[in-house]
Amino acid sequence: MMTDIINRNGESISLEDEKQIIDTINKWLDNEVRANVLAFEHKDEYPHLMVEQMKDLGLFGATISQKYGGMGLPSSTYAKVVATISEVWMSLTGIFNSHLIMAAAVERFGTEAQRNYYLPKFVTGELRGGLALTEPDCGTDLQAIRTRAVKHGNDYVINGTKTWISNGIEGNCVALLVKTDIEVEPRHKGMSLFLAEKSDGFNVGKKLKKLGYKGIDSAELIFDDYHISQDNLIGGEEGHGFLQTMGGLELGRINVAARGVGVANAALKDATSYAQTRSTMGKPIGQHQAIQTKLGDMATRSHAARLLVEDAANAYDRGDRCDMEAGMAKLFASEAAMENATECMRIHGAYGYSEELHVERYYRDAPLMCIGEGTNEMQRIIIAKQLMERNPV
């Protein structure tokens, strides 16, 4: 008998449904994506048609509850979706990942009116975007942000600059972290999160040029006397923005870890196949022990990364505190992607360095997973702190 997988809100899908979802995504990747990745990647072109297809596939509502029209996928199923797509083109997952973290913040912390208004629009992609947290002067130390919202009647007026914001150009709405009180201690009590839709005063800078993660837009957002209604303050009360943001990071880390699994596995698959077709000294290179030890390590890393992500996602779905598990999954899977990408390139020799293959892309994409959603340096610290908290003497 097939059992159901239950998400954090108690909604369930069957294993049969999960299999169908992954099969449908694989068909879409094979028919519409795989053959086009190199062209989009090297032109750094935004994949508009693929985005429309992702809307049809329901990906913009993947983790939003069924009662708002979403798929209500458990985190464990969603992680498989992200890993599957990342194995073909990691950039695509960035188009709906941070969008869904924004949606999760509304679903977990928003008022009833905010949930009813925004979530159905997020599901269809009519409104879509992501998280606007990072500023030119701070990313890790979010409590040092300077973007400021000042109350003005029933509105707030926002001034400040955000940078590196995924979907900043193509999206039309972001969860915007600001300071509503710059005096209060601890600093996080002066932070609030708004749902900011594009309008006058919400200006977008140019697409940032970057090493990898091509196609998707990363942009600077400049808020210049941007007026926003107090109804857009998530939860309706000032001072909770930092905790609301941190509340989404467990899921965010599981998602980034799942991207790492996808890239690590793509590198492993390409290397395994190349090792059997390229010959030196009269035999396939996969017959040389130097290559076999690389493949052995790569396969072990890929598998371990997948298990860590599954473990963290299951804990998240059960509603358990899982910052340590999500941190371990994110740390290990992103480093696995880095190491597998490097080894894949070495196994491919000069071809690994060629733009005609995908190998050099894995090598450029992997470092992002070590930086985003909390750097790996910070993950190690989070893991160590949790370890001691859970094992007091």
Ligand X SMILES: Cc1cc2nc3c(=O)[nH]c(=O)nc-3n(C[C@H](O)[C@H](O)[C@H](O)COP(=O)(O)OP(=O)(O)OC[C@H]3O[C@@H](n4cnc5c(N)ncnc54)[C@H](O)[C@@H]3O)c2cc1C
Q: Which is nearer to ligand X, 22 or 208 (CB)?
A: 208
Number of chain residues interacting with ligand X (CB under 6 A): 21
CA–CA separation, 44 and 50 (whole Å):
14
Closer to ligand X by CB, 285 or 337: give it.
337
392 CB-side CA count, 13 A: 1
Asked whether 128 and 173 are in contact (CB, 8 A), the reply is yes
- Ordered alpha helix ranges (H), the chain: 15-28, 37-43, 48-56, 75-89, 91-109, 112-124, 241-277, 289-318, 323-347, 359-371, 376-390
CB of 141 to ligand X, least distance (A): 6
325 is catalytic: no
385 binds ligand X (CB under 6 A): no
Buried b (16+ CB within 10 A) or exposed e, 239-267: ebbbebbebbbbbbbbbbbbbbbbbbbbb
x/- mask, ligand X, residues 75-114, rule CB under 6 A, reads -----------------------x----------------
Q: Distance between CA 208 and CA 164 in Å, rounded? A: 7
H-only helix segments in 278-288: none
Q: 149 with 175: CB under 8 angstroms? A: no
Distance of closest approach, residue 346 Cβ to ligand X, in angstroms: 25
Question: What mask of x and - would describe binding to ligand X in positions 132 to 151, judged by CB under 6 A?
Answer: xxx---xxx-----------
Q: Please, what is the Cα angle at 319 between 314 and 323, to 5 degrees?
A: 75
172 binds ligand X (CB under 6 A): no
Nearest approach, Cβ of residue 89 and ligand X (Å): 15
Q: Which stretch binds ligand X (CB under 6 A): 76-84, 226-234, 300-308, 371-379?
A: 371-379
Kindly state whether residue 342 participates in binding ligand X, applying the rule CB under 6 A.
Answer: no
Single-letter code of the amino acid located at 370? C
Tell me the backbone φ, ψ of residue 44, rounded to 5 degrees: 50, 45
Smallest distance from the beta carbon of 210 to ligand X, in angstroms? Answer: 5
Determine if 223 is a binding residue for ligand X (CB under 6 A): no
Q: Which is nearer to ligand X, 175 or 347 (CB)?
A: 175
H/E stretch holding 197 reads strand 191-197
Name the residue among 123, 122, 120, 147 with its Cα closest to residue 133. 147
Residue 14 interacting with ligand X (CB under 6 A):
no
Q: Which of 213, 223, 316, 363 binds ligand X (CB under 6 A)?
A: 213
Is residue 173 a contact residue for ligand X (CB under 6 A)? Answer: no
Assess whether the previous peptide bond of 186 is cis (omega < 30° from 0).
yes
Please say which residue, 164 or 223, places its beta carbon nearer to ligand X: 164
Q: Pick the closer one to ligand X by CB: 176 or 275.
A: 176
Name the residue nearer to ligand X (CB basis): 151 or 210: 210
Query: Least distance (Å) from ligand X to the CB of residue 343?
Result: 23
Among the listed residues 339, 373, 377, 389, the single catalytic one is: 373
The residue (of 223 and 274) whose beta carbon lies closer to ligand X is 223
**What is the SS3 assignment for 170?**
coil
Give me the least distance between CB of 297 and ligand X, in Å please. 25
* Contact residue for ligand X among 91, 166, 192, 255 (CB under 6 A): 166
Listing DSSP states for 208-224 in one string gives PP-SS--SS-EEEEEEE
Q: How many CB atoms lie within 10 A of CB 157?
A: 17
Residues catalogued as catalytic = 373
- Contact residues for ligand X (CB under 6 A)? 98, 130-134, 138-140, 164-166, 210, 213, 218, 368, 371-372, 375, 377-378
